[in-house]
Amino acid sequence: MKKLFSTILVICSLLSNSANAKSIELKNCRPTWNAKNLYHTVGVKVDLDSFKIKTFNSDPDYLFIDGTYNIDASRTSSDDQLRNEKGLIYSKQYSAYNLLGGDQKKLMTGYKQASADYEIDLLDKTVTVIFKWDPNKLTRKEKKDLKKWGVNVKKVSTYKYACNSYFAKGFKKKEPKKQEPNNIPNISNSEWNTATNKDLWMLKENRFTIKFLSNGLCETEDIIKCVWEQDNRNLKFTYNNQAVYEVKLKSNSWEGKANNKKTNKQWKSYGEAISITSWVDIAEKPKQLPEDNKVVPAGSGSGFFVSSDGHIITNHHVINGCNTTKVSFKGNQIEAQILAVDKMNDIAILKTNIKPNSIFPISNEDVSLLEDVVVAGYPLGKQVSSAIKTHKGVVTALAGAGDNYSNFQTDASINAGNSGGPIMNQKGNIVGIAVATWVQDGVQGVHFGIKSSTLKTFANSNSLKFSQANNRELSNKDLGKLITEATVYLECHMTVANIKKMMAAANNRKAFFSEFK
């Protein structure tokens, strides 16, 4: 898009009601669309007592003037939904022209005829300004001016911003659930405060908050890239592949140590829970399985051919822990060799001696918002059938969980067993790799893919070259043929002992076969 308007991505955590004034302040919000000035920032303060949204702009003469807007209570979700970060907040409708700053009013007088309102989605963590047009009210000159700026007045125009940080005031903290006997916290979907040691805990400036997401990622106020894994009482999390924390969980707290792999600096770590959603029963007896050292088929995933020499792309978590990974091809199971893995971005490159009939090209461009996509693979393994399955949808957000911009979000279904499978456009070009689904009661249609640019960066680092992207759209018949010939079913074989260990891990993402569950 051409340079347009500032909207605000609200990353807010609405907690329980309080007698104090409740407000949420967002800072350092940047455009997710192709604005001319990508470095300008906006901020917002949402007051849920007076039901007003106040905006702040680093350069009011560039796009928007600072303003205060009323929240539309009739369209805004209930308190319970907002408190659980599931709802929507809407502003009243305003004239888009009145929001403009600087020279925009001279250039774009057609915006007098458009209404604009804010839609804040707490689940997607986005805020969108929506412009609604009535072409019949526009003069010929106004239509011409708007067309010059890339605005299609026959459609609704939407623009989004993403924020780096947020601050909430006047809310009660969520109380951690009481620990039950023999139980320890399940780190997945929990939130903690941590400090370098217990003695410094009382000083707020010595603490920071960390959220552990269900997909093995974690996030802080500074949006530092972070991954985690839990093995009963043992929790390990790593920032930027550099700072490594290893701690022991103790009911609602942890204690342990951390070190910087580059500088070798070491320090203590102490943490206390803010919210815990579930518990792990460490006293539960494991199910009786065959001999621990026996290698058995354990789980499945999907993958796709990207070269005529038999190179396959999949997720790292599909092949992680496998003694062998086997590819189903024309009725045979063929062993694959692991060439390279990217644990942080969850990608793996496999090599087989298969000469596939078709291979997928990789898109030269990342997905765009509302772009049509197709997900292919083997959801639920072969429980439903051994046939390949597809799901169509659109791109619903240009970032993944925890503002991970190496991922995107789609409403095309991704289930256990889809992991590592291709996400493509109608041209048959790979635009993503199926990687995760948001699992939460009452939430549907929130699925994630790894962007093609992330895959290409990883492949280039490992000297893997892709075929040239297609320039024309394929018929559904031709696309179906490509999917059938270039998508494969992967089966992970591992020892029973390793199966027990991985299934006990709180952040396990592998699609194990039902007999092990």
Helix, coil or strand: residue 204: helix
Alpha-carbon span 507 to 417, nearest angstrom? 16
pLDDT attached to residue 170:
62
pTM score above 0.75 = no
Alpha-carbon span 397 to 405, nearest angstrom? 10
DSSP label at residue 476? H
Residues of the chain predicted below pLDDT 70: 1-21, 26, 28, 33-40, 58-64, 78-87, 99-113, 121-127, 146, 148-155, 163-182, 197-206, 215, 222-225, 281-292, 503-517
Alpha-carbon span 335 to 415, nearest angstrom? 24
DSSP alpha helices (H): ranges in 370-516? 452-461, 476-486, 496-504
SS (H, E, C) 58-115: CCCCCCECCEEEEECCCCCCCHHHHHCCCCEEEECCEEHHHHECCCHHHHCHHHHHCE
SS (H, E, C) 2-35: CCCCCCCCCCCCCCECCCCCCEEEEEEEEECCCC
Alpha-carbon span 457 to 467, nearest angstrom? 15
Alpha-carbon span 433 to 87, nearest angstrom? 28
User: At 455, phi and psi to the nearest 5?
Assistant: -60, -45
Alpha-carbon span 153 to 133, nearest angstrom? 6
Q: At 81, which amino acid appears?
A: Q
Alpha carbon distances (Å) from 410 to 345, 375, 379, 476: 18, 10, 16, 20
Q: Tokens for 6?
A: 């500032």
The 10s digit of each residue's pLDDT in 198-249 is: 555 445 556 778 888 876 788 877 656 678 888 888 888 887 778 888 999 8
**How are the residues of the chain apportioned to helix, strand and coil, as percentages rounded to the nearest 5?**
15, 40, 45
DSSP alpha helices (H): ranges in 120-230? 140-148
H or E stretch covering 43? strand 42-47
pLDDT attached to residue 331:
86
